[in-house]
């Protein structure tokens, strides 16, 4: 019984230490790789902003963007919009990965993704659609 108690204490201490260490992560870190990804995302934002505004595209709670209402995009434009979303999500994944690597903690990628997911949602403009904690789409 005693060894199990010790293991549980160690696990709790490890998890607490990981959370405290993550709190010290530099999410504003800048490297040439991060700057290139951010530049790519910034250029793409001009194309995404009208889609956010129309409700066609929304911000997911896991730090991605998604086609929320395909009917809001004319059929001839859907392939281009889907490609735009895929490129954005690819850059977002690369951004989270690069920030974790720049902090010398690649294992933090998931926590960084979740933190940024919440940041994107918090900074979304009124009228944009975002996912709530349960995954439902809500208009901000």
Quick one: average pLDDT of 129-136? 95
What integer pLDDT is reported at residue 12 of this predicted model?
36
Measure the CA–CA gap between 45 and 57, rounded to whole angstroms: 12
Q: If pLDDT is split at 50, 70 and 90, which confidence band does 76 have?
A: very high
What integer pLDDT is reported at residue 24 of this predicted model?
76
pLDDT cut 70: percent of the chain above it: 84
Q: Mind listing the pLDDT tens digit for each residue in 15-64?
A: 334 444 456 789 999 999 999 999 999 999 999 999 999 999 999 999 99
Measure the CA–CA gap between 135 and 124, rounded to whole angstroms: 16
Quick one: average pLDDT of 1-23? 41
Q: How many CB atoms lie within 10 A of CB 86?
A: 11
Q: What are phi and psi of 55, to 5 degrees?
A: 90, 0
Q: Which of 21-30, 61-70, 92-101 has the lowest mean pLDDT?
A: 21-30
Mean model confidence pLDDT for the chain: 87
What's the predicted TM-score (pTM) here?
Answer: 0.82
Where residue 127 falls (left for φ over 0; alpha for ψ -120 to 50; beta otherwise) is: left
């Amino acid at each position: 019984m005693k060894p199990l108690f010790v293991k549980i204490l160690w696990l709790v201490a490890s998890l607490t230490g990981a959370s405290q260490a993550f709190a010290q992560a530099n999410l504003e870190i800048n490297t040439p790789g991060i700057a290139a990804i951010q530049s790519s995302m910034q250029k793409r934002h001009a194309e995404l902003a009208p889609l956010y505004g129309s409700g066609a595209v929304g911000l997911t709670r896991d730090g991605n963007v998604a086609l929320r209402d395909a009917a809001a995009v004319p059929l001839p434009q859907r392939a281009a919009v889907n490609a735009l979303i895929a490129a954005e999500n690819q850059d977002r994944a690369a951004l989270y990965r690069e920030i974790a690597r720049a902090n010398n903690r690649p294992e933090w990628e998931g926590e960084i993704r979740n933190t940024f997911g919440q940041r994107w949602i918090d900074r979304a403009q009124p009228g944009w659609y975002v996912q709530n904690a349960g995954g439902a789409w809500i208009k901000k």
